[in-house]
Each structure stands twice: as structure tokens, then as C-alpha cells.
Amino acid sequence: MTRVVYVNGRYLPYGDANVHVEDRGFQFADAIYEVMEVAGCRLVDATRHLDRLQRSLTELAMPAPMSRAAMLHIIAEVVRRNRVSDGQVYMQISRGGSPRDFTFSGKQLVPTFVCLARPISRSIRDARADKGIGVITMPDIRWGRCDIKTVMLLPAVLAKEQALAEGADEAWLVDGNGFITEGASSNAWIVNGAGHLQTRSLTSALLPGVTRLTAIDVAATIGLKVELEPFTVPEAYAACEAFATSASGTVMPIVKIDGNIVGSGIPGPQAQALREAFHRVAEHMPIH
């Protein structure tokens, strides 16, 4: 449960935490966000998440609302005030509010900064990973700059909703050439016939997942080979293993794709090894 939310300079009770109706995040999705895991009262991969947040701001010519040190101070305070030892932090920055107008240059906009945290039980998440999840595939109908972490998430909302309706947990989005770009809220991986981990290389078509990047580091430390190549839906069906990476699920084994059993239908050894080693390799920043 979230008790306290930081909104534009104030720590407010959850029920009183609001932004203006003419906020550009609300009207135009002119906003970016980050989600970071909290594990054992530490921020997981905070440096990489804040680097990506800065990149998203730069790509959209949005000024940072404050310094990185100030942001970290607020994150720590929100985690502390919400008594989160395991869970996640959500941060959102919009370009600010003003009478509705598409353009933003020359306007005196003050960015909106929202930060909240909520506890998530580690045992529930681990139980999900022990069982493995199901995904469905569907066309990727998103825009051409999915490398920027914007709140323009309607295609992801609809994809997840369809996955839920079909008894699955995630949707894998397929590009015009038949290759999987990524999940609706995760990066997509398989273990191919050569026994190598395979995930798509970074382009503007997908989010540069922080967990993806750390998983590549983890693979190197435990002697697993990674191929940065896209894969098709039939290749995914035929894979030895499949899994998703995201800050909210770390490494999540996939046991079903479009109703087809992956490998032996249980979480695969490479996905489990990556998951098990993940927190030993990821950065854990103490909350002061």
C-alpha cells in the first residue's frame, strides 16, 4: 500500500496527491517515467535507471526538475515514508501544465515530478517465477521511438488486457518483419538451439531495459553466452527456454507462448540461473 506520494515539492497522503487537469502528461502523454526495484531496503540498479531517465528527458528536450542528488533524496524519503523494504519506486516527470497548446517552446513550464513507492511481497513474485508465466504474441502497433520511456502506454495497456483475457500474463509484440520487438512491459529473450541466450539488439523500436542490460552482465559472470539478434515467433515456439526481463519481475521464466509449451514446460535452467544470480550482480544502492 502506498501511503505518501511526493508531488512537486510536497509529501502528501495518497488520497490527496493530485496534479493539474492541464498537465501535459494528462493531455498529451508529454511525460516520461521510471520504475525501480527496492530489494532489502536498497535501490536496485539506481544509477542505470537515473541514467535512462536523464536520456529520456534529453531526447524530449525536457528540463530535469532537479539534480540527481535531490531526486535520490526524494526517492529515499518516499521509500522510507512508505516503509518499503521490498517493492518498487515509480517516478514520473511531465513537461508541466499550462493552457492546452501542442507546442511548448517559449512557455514558462515548470516540470511536474511525482514519486511514489509501494511494497511488493518477494514471496509472491518468487512463486510466480517458480511456476513460469504465459505470453501471447500480437502486432506491435506502437510509435517509432519506443527507446524513450514515455507514459504513452495505451498500446501496452490494450496488449496486456488481451493477454489477461486469453489467460496469459504478458504480450510479446511482433514487428512488420515477423520479429519480436519486446514485451508490453518487459524485454524478450529465448535460449536458442545453440544453447545461447538471445535477445534483440537495441534500436529505437524497443526500450533499453535496465534489467536486460544487467542480465547481460549477469550472463557474463556465470558463463552464459548472449547473442544480440532478433528472433521470430516460430523461433520462439521452438526455443529451449524463454523469459522476460523487467525491473518489476527481474528474470521471469516463460513456459507458454500462444498456448504452445516452451521447452519442457517448466522454468528453464538458464533463466533460473540468471534469476538466481541477478541480485548478486546488480547495483544495490543503500537508502540513507
- Interface residues with ligand PMP (CB under 6 A) are 35, 182, 185-187, 207, 209-212, 245-247
Q: Which is nearer to ligand PMP, 59 or 238 (CB)?
A: 59
> E strands of the chain, at which residues?
4-7, 10-13, 31-39, 42-44, 87-94, 112-119, 133-139, 170-174, 180-183, 187-191, 197-199, 226-228, 241-246, 250-257, 260-261, 284-286
Strand, coil or helix: 214: helix
Contact status, residue 227 vs residue 197, Cβ threshold 8 Å:
yes
Length of the chain: 288
Q: Which is nearer to ligand PMP, 132 or 249 (CB)?
A: 249
Q: Which is nearer to ligand PMP, 44 or 255 (CB)?
A: 44
Shortest Å, Cβ 48 to ligand PMP: 8
Q: Which is nearer to ligand PMP, 210 or 277 (CB)?
A: 210
CA distance linking residue 219 with residue 221, whole number of Å:
5
Shortest Å, Cβ 231 to ligand PMP: 16
Which is it for the CA torsion 132, 182, 284, 64, positive or negative?
A: negative
Shortest Å, Cβ 110 to ligand PMP: 26
Shortest Å, Cβ 43 to ligand PMP: 13
